[in-house]
């Protein structure tokens, strides 16, 4: 079970993503929906590879305990029936993402579905491209190796805490090879940024107040005082001005991520790259 809490304090909503496969589809749908309520504190708990009624019963009990919503992507009929019945018996909200569509397709096509979990994860060329892109994003994260700037489909630049790494991973799952480079006044930016086509580079900026709040929360999470220079307004303004100057020199597109979910920013980036 994977847990992710976004935002400080107790979550406003807990969502269990239940699947007889990996659960990627359900989690993507949850993230797309939760983005409509940004900012919000949420906790996505993924329960993957469900194979029996006992596992479903355990999830139902947890969902009831935490007043959570369940979103399930079960293709095995008796498991769908089980979670539907148990959720009703326990007063838990459970949403069937695939069942109604599978039923409609069976009627339209005129034959039953295969009822095999994980068929959309068949090891085809697309799958391997995605794996390669994810490995690329990890290797060239945070300018650990600046040679990735030349090899990347997309290069993200910006100050610390502008979602460079989450965006890199999200875009990697869309099969884009992404390198990201932090812009810090004390560190000279890689020369490669000024030699590759500027259309490949995306500058990320953010409002001073918004970044101040994010950095203070980050310091608290690390057990450090929020008065550290990393989160001061003066330091943030200096970094943003420096990053802005670099982006102007490059001549790249700049996106303000202040009140945008990762999914929304990624959509803007992909639209720009495809154009």
Show the domain range for 19.
2-121
Each residue of 1-45: pLDDT tens digit? 444 455 456 889 999 999 988 888 899 899 889 888 878 889 999
Verify that 110 and 187 share a domain, yes or no. Answer: no
Residue 245 to residue 211: CA distance in whole angstroms: 18
Which pLDDT tens digit goes with each residue over 100-139?
999 999 999 999 888 888 776 655 677 788 889 999 999 9
- Pair 82, 129 in one domain: no
The residue among 100, 121, 142 that closes a domain is 121
> Are residue 171 and residue 200 in the same domain, yes or no?
yes
- What per-residue confidence (pLDDT) applies to 1? 43
Residues at the binding site are 158-165
SS3 10: coil
Specify whether 130 is located in the same domain as 117.
no
Q: Which residues are annotated as a binding site for ADP?
A: 158-165
Same domain, 129 and 88: no
The arithmetic mean of pLDDT across residues 56-70, rounded, is: 96
78 shares a domain with 20: yes
* Greatest Cα pair distance in the chain: 66
- Give me 43's structure tokens: 């906790």
pLDDT digits (tens, 9 = 90+) for 201-245: 999 999 999 999 999 998 988 888 988 999 999 999 999 999 999
CA–CA separation, 54 vs 84, rounded Å? Answer: 14
pTM of the predicted structure, to 2 decimals: 0.64
**Residue-averaged pLDDT of the chain:** 91
């Amino acid at each position: 079970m994977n847990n992710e809490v976004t935002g400080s304090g107790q979550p406003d909503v807990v969502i269990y993503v239940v699947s007889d496969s990996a659960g990627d589809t359900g989690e993507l749908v949850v993230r797309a929906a939760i983005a409509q309520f940004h900012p919000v504190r949420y906790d996505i708990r993924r329960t993957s590879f469900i194979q029996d009624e006992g596992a479903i019963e355990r999830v139902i009990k947890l969902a009831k305990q935490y007043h959570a919503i369940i979103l399930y992507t079960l293709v095995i009929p008796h498991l769908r029936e089980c979670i539907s019945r148990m959720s009703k018996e326990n007063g838990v909200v459970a949403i069937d993402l695939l069942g109604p569509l599978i039923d409609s397709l069976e009627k339209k096509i005129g034959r039953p579905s295969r009822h095999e979990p994980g068929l959309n994860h068949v090891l085809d060329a697309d799958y391997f491209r995605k794996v390669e892109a994810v490995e690329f994003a990890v290797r060239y994260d945070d300018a650990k190796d600046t040679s990735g700037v030349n090899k990347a489909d997309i290069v993200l630049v910006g100050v610390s805490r502008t979602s460079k790494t989450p965006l890199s991973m999200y875009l990697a799952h869309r099969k884009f090879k992404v390198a990201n480079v932090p812009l810090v006044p004390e560190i000279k930016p890689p020369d490669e940024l000024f030699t590759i086509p500027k259309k490949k580079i995306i500058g990320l900026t953010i409002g001073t107040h918004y970044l101040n709040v994010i950095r203070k929360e980050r310091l608290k999470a690390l057990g450090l005082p929020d008065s550290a220079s990393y989160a001061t307004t003066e330091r943030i303004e200096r970094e943003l001005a420096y990053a802005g100057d670099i982006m102007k020199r490059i001549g790249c597109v700049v996106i303000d991520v202040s009140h945008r979910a990762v999914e929304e920013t990624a959509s803007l980036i992909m639209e720009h790259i495809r154009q």
